[in-house]
């Protein structure tokens, strides 16, 4: 025999979770639609393995091409003095020998950026495809 406390016709409050589940599913669909489908990153060049016959041959030393712009307007190309009027022709000669198109431009600290930008423009006009700025101070 069971005893009931508080009366037989007392109603019990129950929480209806169906609307909350509907809201949760709608939010889930919205976040799935808004999320990017394919993650994108920066392009990277992966080193390639050496060919079979050339594994014993050491790699040649890197030959950086550094163009220094001095405060008095003179230019040095790998510590060789170059006139601004002859810079394009000299870069074209170098580009025929080594076709990587990479040049580093370094300027003295008291330069206006416009002077460095003119030299970078000459380098790009000569066919240098990758022009990089060096931030190390000139000694």
Q: Which domains does the chain possess? A: 66-133 (3.30.420.270)
Identify which has the larger pLDDT, 78 or 41. Answer: 78
Identify which has the larger pLDDT, 25 or 114. Answer: 25
Residue-level pLDDT at 71: 83
Question: Running DSSP on this structure, what letter comes out for residue 25?
Answer: H
Residue in 27, 126, 39 with CA at minimum distance from that of residue 85 = 126
Mean pLDDT of the chain: 81
- Identify the top-confidence range among 49-53, 96-100, 106-110, 126-130: 126-130
Identify which has the larger pLDDT, 59 or 29. Answer: 29
Residue in 63, 90, 89 with CA at minimum distance from that of residue 77 = 90
Report the pLDDT averaged over residues 116-137: 86
Share of the chain above pLDDT 70, in %: 81
Residue-level pLDDT at 28: 94
Strands (DSSP E) along 2-101, which ranges? 66-69, 75-77, 80-82
Report the pLDDT averaged over residues 54-74: 73
């Amino acid at each position: 025999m069971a005893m009931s406390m508080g009366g037989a016709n007392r109603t019990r409050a129950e929480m209806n979770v169906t609307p909350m589940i509907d809201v949760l599913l709608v939010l889930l669909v919205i976040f799935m639609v808004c999320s990017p489908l394919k993650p994108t990153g920066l392009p990277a060049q992966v080193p390639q393995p050496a060919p079979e016959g050339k594994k014993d041959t050491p790699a040649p030393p890197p030959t950086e091409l550094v163009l220094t712009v001095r405060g008095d307007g003179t230019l040095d190309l790998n510590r060789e003095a170059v006139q601004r009027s002859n810079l394009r022709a000299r870069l074209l000669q170098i580009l025929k020998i080594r076709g990587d198109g990479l040049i580093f431009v370094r300027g003295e600290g008291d330069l206006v950026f416009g002077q460095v930008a003119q030299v970078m423009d000459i380098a790009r006009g000569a066919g240098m495809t990758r022009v990089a700025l060096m931030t190390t101070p000139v000694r």
